[in-house]
Structure 1
Amino acid sequence: MDKRQIAIVTDSTADLKDEWIARYHIHVVPLDVIFGEQVFQDRVTLAPEDFYRKLDETDLLPTTSQPSTARFVEVFSALCAQNYVVIGIFISAKLSGTYQGALTAATMVQGDITVFDSTTTTAALGMQVIEAAKMAEAGEDKNAILRRLDVMVGHMDAYIVLDTLEHLHRGGRIGGAAKFVGTLLQVKPILYLKDGSVDVFAKVRTTRKALDFLVDQVAKVCDGKQNVEIFVIYSLGADVEGYVATVSSRIPHATVHTTMIGPVVGNYAGSRSLGLVVHVED
């Protein structure tokens, strides 16, 4: 009997480039992005660049919504009908109901479906998805892939330096007084994504100092490690090429990639934000 093939499914918050999706045959279920009465499918009917333009042009605070159960059922059913073993890797359950929605959908479809909580999002989720897809392509079985994902979860960190406090304020994450003082003093918060939740890692005055501080912190984590992979994540208007050069100079043994931050994180980050997602193993 031939070994059944494995299909990898994720959601659009993984911020995967189209060429990676095509190269590794990844199936992406989009979240919805809502501007007032307009509903868009993330990266399907609304590109990240257009999201940031709309964000800057409107006073409306956009929201994001998890995919419907029906959307998951459609994807899972199509793959199971082709006799695939399905592994779904999704945004942290603490950040979105997407993971729970996928679990519910999996119970409604006849087939071998495993739903995995990445405990993260953006490029940190994307790294897990690409690794799983590479392993599936190489013929590894489901259990080996899930064991590898468990290891990766414990060796990943994600940080983002915000250019403005405006979107945190509009989203209710900080008060008006904090926004005023922070803006006056040019305070740039560095957000940290770990164990499924987002917290403030540090507050540094000026963007340049915050970005340099972040590289220094990551360089310490990577020091003496051989297997270092870094994603520079960015939103529209950020000097991504300049930051890639800085990161590559400070951490020359790292493999450095880039990807644009999608709406779920971008909703609070806003334009001109930069961050680092780091995967380090001995």
Structure 2
Amino acid sequence: MSEPKRKVAVVTDSTSSLTQAMGQEYGVHVMPMYVMFGTQTYRDGVDLDAELFYRLLRGNKRLPTTSQPTVADFVQMYTELSHQAEAIVSIHLSHKMSATLDSARSASKELPDVPIHVIDSRSTSMDLGLIAIAAARAAAAGQDATDVVRLVEELVPKTNIFFTVETLEYLHKGGRIGGATALLGSALSIKPVLHVRDGQVEPLEKPRTRKRAIGRLLDLMAEQVGASEAVHAAVLQCDVPDEAQALAEQVAARFHCVELLTTEAGPIIGTHCGPGTLGVAFYTA
């Protein structure tokens, strides 16, 4: 006898900084993006983890490229999930950063008998990851698709992500720099603090040292979160685990965190932001 269908399956993509293992833990189905080193293609989080990614990055003179999942990839995942759930809520990175949303929407049209809700998070990394986790928790609690979609749509404008990079080179070459092009002229002398605004990466401030940039991440978070407000937060990093741990300890000490995750941002974020990226994503409960 087959198990009864659950009400909602939650899908996101691997730009969410959720590994496949984290996806299993939180009940989120993570669609892999593609990373290409020369002629070799990898599926982010499936046959390319962070350790291998940075080893390849250091060993290649040319930067890797990335690509969104295909329509066929989504059709396959949605079809499999349609046997397990009554509806699917699929939450993805900003349409201004990738055509992933287009692939998901096209796939949903090929499955007209399956209720599929495709949502633009207008962000990426753990900003998207936190939204997906919240959606999966709501689904696990028995909420139906209408309630889960409403929750996601409420969280999209509430979530924030602030981060600093070692260099703007990766954002520039990957075409994901948005308004941060204005910083390129002084890129060698600054450690910029950036955020995602209106679905794309934008500059916020131009500290001249790494220490000041990291301090500003905390200050900017404090401007959005009251000292006693409950907050869901995540620290994300690209190949700087020690700095991430130190930042997470400061976040825990300074804010009332009901949830605090620390995670490697993943190969897609690593490709476009580069090693040394460090940031914090959060929303108030």
Fold equivalence (TM over 0.5): yes
Is 1:262 the counterpart of 2:272 in the alignment? no
Which one of the candidate residues 127, 132, 138 is aligned to 1:129? 132
Secondary structure of the residue aligned to 2:248 is helix
Aligned-partner Cα distance in 1 for 2:84–2:216:
49
Is 1:32 the counterpart of 2:64 in the alignment? no
Tell me which residue corresponds to 1:223. Answer: 226
Task: Compute the RMSD of aligned alpha carbons.
Answer: 2.2
Tell me which residue corresponds to 2:47. Answer: 45
Matches within 5 A, 1:1-282: 5-82=7-84, 84-109=86-111, 110-171=113-174, 173=177, 178=184, 181-183=186-188, 185=189, 187-224=190-227, 226-238=229-241, 239-253=243-257, 255-281=259-285
Tell me which moved more, 82-91 or 194-203: 82-91
Give the TM-score of the pair, scaled to structure 2. Answer: 0.89
Secondary structure of the residue aligned to 1:61 is coil
Are residues 17 and 178 of structure 1, via their aligned partners in 2, closer, same or farther at CA, if it must alter by over 3 Å?
A: closer
Aligned residues: 276
Gap regions ≥5 residues in structure 2: none
Paired residue type of 1:260: E
Aligned-partner Cα distance in 2 for 1:203–1:5:
46
Aligned-partner Cα distance in 2 for 1:50–1:72:
25
Aligned-partner Cα distance in 1 for 2:58–2:126:
23
After TM superposition, give the deviation of residue 249 of structure 1 in Å. 2.5
After TM superposition, give the deviation of residue 82 of structure 1 in Å. 4.1
Paired residue type of 2:107: A
Secondary structure of the residue aligned to 1:84 is strand
Secondary structure of the residue aligned to 2:53 is helix
Contact 2:49 2:267 in 1 (8 A): no
Secondary structure of the residue aligned to 2:192 is strand
Tell me which moved more, 257-266 or 220-229: 220-229
Gap regions ≥5 residues in structure 1: none
Contact 1:93 1:119 in 2 (8 A): yes
Contact 1:31 1:67 in 2 (8 A): yes
Are residues 165 and 114 of structure 1, via their aligned partners in 2, closer, same or farther at CA, if it must alter by over 3 Å?
A: closer
Aligned-partner Cα distance in 1 for 2:27–2:227:
34
Deviations 1:15-71 (A, max 9, x none): 114443223332221110011111100011110222222223322121110111111
Aligned-partner Cα distance in 2 for 1:133–1:197:
25
Aligned-partner Cα distance in 2 for 1:3–1:169:
45
> Identity rate of aligned residues, in percent?
33
Are residues 254 and 219 of structure 1, via their aligned partners in 2, closer, same or farther at CA, if it must alter by over 3 Å?
A: farther
Give the TM-score of the pair, scaled to structure 1. Answer: 0.90
Tell me which moved more, 234-243 or 122-131: 234-243
Paired residue type of 1:249: A
Are residues 178 and 124 of structure 1, via their aligned partners in 2, closer, same or farther at CA, if it must alter by over 3 Å?
A: closer
Contact 1:64 1:263 in 2 (8 A): no
After TM superposition, give the deviation of residue 254 of structure 1 in Å. 5.9
Contact 1:233 1:259 in 2 (8 A): yes
After the TM superposition, list the runs of 4 or more consecutive aligned residues in structure 1 that deviate by more than 6 angstroms. Answer: none
Contact 2:139 2:148 in 1 (8 A): yes
Contact 1:161 1:210 in 2 (8 A): yes
Are residues 89 and 253 of structure 1, via their aligned partners in 2, closer, same or farther at CA, if it must alter by over 3 Å?
A: closer
After TM superposition, give the deviation of residue 3 of structure 1 in Å. 7.6
